[in-house]
Amino acid sequence: MAHSSPLVTVAQLQDWLQQEPASVLVLDASFDLADAQAGRQAFRQAHLPGAAHIDLDMHLSSQPNGSNGRHPLPDFPALAETLARLGADNTTRIVAYDRQGAMYAARAWWLLRRAGHAQAFVLDGGLSAWQTAGLPVEDGEAAPRKPGSFRLRPALVEIVDYETLRPLVEAGTAPLVVDARAPDRFRGENETLDRVGGHIPGARNRFFRDNLDAQGRFLEPAALRAAFETVLEGRTAAEAVMQCGSGVTACHNLLALEVAGLSGARLYPGSWSEWSSRPGSPVATGTD
């Protein structure tokens, strides 16, 4: 039976792994922006049984060039090769998780959707939820799996690029831009990652961590729907563009929208790190 939500619970994932382990690929997307090796090291210390590690810098991004953002979209043929090497084919249920409230797992989920893969999920609550349930973990390197035949298919999600978005912003005709960064960075305060502080003029702020409860699980669909409908102010999700600092936590808002049943929003992959690096890009500060 098809699983309609992009989230899976610990019990659901445990059932999948018990019933059809060969049809499920679990990806540990743990990462640390302050230490690029920390995610892999944490994986070696503890990960879900049979999981493989997938890295934000190595697998889920391409090389930045100074004007395309800090985490440009990856080379998708290379990503497809990685997924095939890890054992995925085009029917595999791929479940991503992390240790950071789905901050990086959501990026993996969105990229799988961009690669045309509908059977993409995020483990709600991540590693913490698995361990809280008293389930076992493994250490060391990933166990080898038989390579799969994963291939790219038509994208299931859409993007908007800088060249398209900037003239619309300048003309005052842009779709609603929703910024997933913390409120202080949105206002242009305490900016430590990018050279310029502030936000895209006309943007609204929806801090991605507000999608989670105190246990690090996503809020109920009705609560997420109410929160995002407040942000959207009568617009549909398809009339909105999600962005953040570098196109990572924006995927968290895209995932939350999907959980809420509000599909169709686009991602601006370069996000603030690209916008603020381009000469002459308009900048706003303060509240939305």
Active site residues: 244
- Please report, as a single letter, which amino acid is at residue 201: P
Question: What's the CA gap between 40 and 188, in Å, rounded?
Answer: 32
- The radius of gyration of the chain's CA atoms, rounded to the nearest angstrom, is 18
| 164 close to 269: Cβ distance less than 8 angstroms | no
Please report the DSSP string for 155-168 in residue order: -SS-B--HHHHHHH
The torsion of the CA quartet 52, 57, 62, 66, rounded to 10 degrees, works out to 170
Longest dimension (CA), the chain: 56
Q: Where are the alpha helices (DSSP H) in the chain?
A: 10-19, 38-45, 76-85, 105-114, 126-132, 162-171, 183-187, 221-232, 250-259, 271-275
